[in-house]
Amino acid sequence: MVVLRYNQPSKPDNLITKDKMVTILYDVLIINAVKRTSKTILELKGVHPEDYIFKKYRIDRTQFALSHAYYASNIEDYQSIMTNLEQKHVNNKEDIQFRLEK
> Can you spell out the DSSP letters for 3-71?
-----PPPPPTTPPPHHHHHHHHHHHHHHHHHHHHHHHHHHHTT--HHHHHHHHTT--HHHHHHHHHHH
**Can you give the pLDDT at residue 93?**
82
pTM of the entire structure?
0.80
Distance from C-alpha of 24 to C-alpha of 54, rounded to nearest angstrom: 9
Question: Residue 95: is its pLDDT beyond 80?
Answer: no
More confident residue, 79 or 7: 79
**Can you give the pLDDT at residue 97?**
76
**Can you give the pLDDT at residue 99?**
72
